[in-house]
Amino acid sequence: MSGSGLDLAFDETQQAVADSVAQLCREHCGDDALRAGAGRFPAGPWKALAELGVLALGTPEGQGGAVEMVAALESLGRAAFPGPLAETFLACRLLPEAERRALALGERIVSVGTPPLLPFAPVAEVFVEIDGERAWRARPAGPIEAVATLGGEPWGRVRLERQAELPGADEALALHATALAAYLAAAGRRLVDDTAGYARSRRQFGRPIGEFQAVAHPLADCAIRLDGVAALARAAAADGPREGRLRAAAAGLAARRAAVAAAHTCHQLFGAVGITVEGPVFHVSRRLMQLAGGAPGEAWARRVLLEGFDVPRDRSEP
């Protein structure tokens, strides 16, 4: 893969990563398991992912960099794999070696975000607070109150005490944006493909509903936007967190919007069955919606894009 050219296809090694992760997802994280495990941390699949070396990608100890990370996340997104994936890659970029190794090995879980509501806080041992464009190692300053969420993840309400600011937040946020974009693009495309399959079989007025422009055109628009996000994520990964930060910022922002648009469109085309918990796609769309609106938010990406296009920051204010 080359970030300077137009060829963003994975090489043999990167494709092997994607294929290995896809096989792991089929074995440990099928749709039935996702529905049954809603609200709980996926301890078994998470450990299997760590043993495969996926959580160590992009770290000095790992056998692969940002492109391999994106290859893995495309397969994980396609499977709607749960857990703090992008957050773990961010934390591994920020934390010292001992804590980084524990996260990469699946021995500890990280919660990354902005209090008081934090993802995976009830099961986390490591806490990283994000405040706009800065990051701190933190610890709970009181009890953690479990909170139910749309995405079926174990969140918590907690007050954090900052311990020390973590250097390297800029590169870590770039890596997070790239990881999130790769995951959301793949999960969104899976949702669009499932909806297209439904549209080919569902008939109205004697024809498959997919033949109507009011169905086909919105799905095509979603697919184009998501494919663009996937290309941006691959290009950002090929350039690296430092050189590819502008592409990473663009990918992160575009991914959030494309994911929400895909969820809304596909729910509309499925009808009521699209938003039922036991339905065919809600376990995917609920995760899309949760991640698209989650921390670290858009402050870092907006700053990078404004600076990249020489726009004064005060002009971004409403």
Between the alpha carbon of residue 105 and those of residues 4, 52, 224, the distances in Å are 33, 9, 36
Q: Which of 189, 209, 198, 166 lies closest to 285, judged by CA?
A: 189
Cα 185 to Cα 168: distance, rounded to the nearest angstrom: 26
What is the band of 230 on the pLDDT scale with cuts at 50, 70, 90? very high
- Residue 303 in any domain: the answer is yes
**Is 256 within the bounds of a domain?**
yes
- The string of pLDDT tens digits covering residues 52-72 is 999 999 888 888 899 999 999
Q: Is residue 54 part of a domain?
A: no
What is the tens place of the pLDDT at every residue in 108-118?
Answer: 999 999 999 99
What range defines the domain where residue 213 resides? 170-316
* DSSP classification of residue 220: H
Q: What is the number of structural domains in the chain?
A: 1
Q: Is residue 150 part of a domain?
A: no
Q: Tell me if 216 is assigned to some domain.
A: yes
Query: pTM for the full model?
Result: 0.93
Q: Does 132 map to a domain?
A: no
Which tens digit of pLDDT belongs to each residue from 247-276? 999 999 999 999 999 999 999 999 887 777
- The domain that holds 228 is classified in CATH as 1.20.140.10
Residue 282 has pLDDT above 80, yes or no: yes
Residue 254 lies in a domain: yes
Assess if residue 96 is contained within a domain. no
Q: Please indicate whether residue 138 or residue 295 has the higher confidence score (pLDDT).
A: 138
The two structure tokens encoding residue 291: 């991640």
